[in-house]
Structure 1
Amino acid sequence: MPEVVEISIPVTPSMDRIQGSLASAMESCLKELGHHKFLGLEFDLTVSNNLFRDFGRSVQRQLDKRWHLVSRKTKQITRDLSTLRRLAFCVLRYDGPTFLQYLEMLRATEGVNSIWLFLDEAHLIFDEAKRRVYRVVAPDVKVGATSAAPHKVVPVLEQPGKWAHLKQVLEEVQRDRRQMLGEDGAGCSQSLSQSQGGEDPLPILVLTQEKLVGAQLEAMLRVGGLAIMKEAFNQYLEWREVSA
């Protein structure tokens, strides 16, 4: 009989703080939305409910009935709730540089109208997102120096925890499969996508929700997580230079 194994992967401390700040920002927006009793929203305005995609659609449908009575601020809050929900999923799916780039794109495109970006939680989210990607190191001050040396940007390159777990699971699957086929399990350290004779006759299927994540996982298994993080960091720097 097929066996289904569910693995719970812990998040890094920075990701945990980002998720906590996102939840606090959602709570602030939901409290503001709950002050308008005349809207007649027929469900609980809670953070856990907002994490479901249908919640945002339900809010929008109910507000459509009284759209002419809804203030501009309230309309923006409903949009912000959708943005915060999307960020809560992105922080789990994307690597650090990609998530930080997405955050900065949001600030550039929605900063004028957005309400959540002016909350204290937004500053915490951006600070933690940056700590996952790089840190700024002050130069050593030498006695008698006539000019101060520039600060140095040092990449952090925090790898998503799911990458190591995925590699471990795939190695276990290959090892168990070789044992079932009567092999001695040698060669488990070979490429996860190839066997001794070339392409694996029994490939392992990995499903992802987005093509971007799937392509990144494929590259990670081929060249390693550190190489992928360096490439993502360089792409982020190039984007910053072009956007400046």
Structure 2
Amino acid sequence: MNYEDFAERYVAVWNETDPAIRRTMISGLWARDGVQYTDSAEYLGPQALEARVTDAHHRFVRDGGQRFRAAGDAVGHHGAVRFTTFMEPAAGGDITWTGTVFARLGADGLIRSDHQFGDPARPGTRTVVDDFLRWPRPDLYAERVDWRVSWPVSEHPLIPWIRPRGTRAEVADHYTTFAEHCTGEVAVDRVFVDGQDAVVTGTSRQLIRSTGKRFTMAFALHLTVENGLITRHHMYEDSLAVAEAFA
């Protein structure tokens, strides 16, 4: 079985607008004695499942302007499959609900039972970036980070925060080290958000405590937010201005 294809078919049922097509899709996913469990109810058989899907479609898709999509993380073995689903505004915007589905399948590939687990909504890209701009706290980052603020250390050994980073703890050390050596302000000009990615442009004006010199530099920062946490931090800056201030 192609488990990603299965997850896509599962999610498509909840978005389908035509009742007749939706009914056919349900019969192509659940067995006649199939049952779905949520944290508060169970839905056994075709009629109960159709009523369940229809009610959700009307509330969230037709009237609520939402859509469901698979997260692309479907895995399965020995007649079971697990995957994540998202609900988000059809017109675009932050994820409003995250669900996990665990389904047991028969030999025919039809669902015998599936359990849905709903998770609290995680903050979207814009929310996380806004929090970051107020205060770039380490807890906004994932445990592992794709980090690029590391122009060659060998060429600029005097700049203490220019080091390779890859973990949340190392990110925390970056901000601590920067604060120990610099004082100043950062002015943000623009924030561009496209799905999980954001680009922040602005100007940083800093005083180096050890030399008494100042630098002013324009920058562009590329952030990626996944599951409410920053997973990519790529800074493009005027490294020469920083190096001269430390000279």
TM-score, length basis structure 1 = 0.22
Q: Where is the helix percentage greater, Structure 1 or Structure 2?
A: 1
Which structure would you say has the larger Rg?
2
Higher relative contact order (CA 8 A, sep 6+): 1
Q: Where is the strand percentage greater, Structure 1 or Structure 2?
A: 2
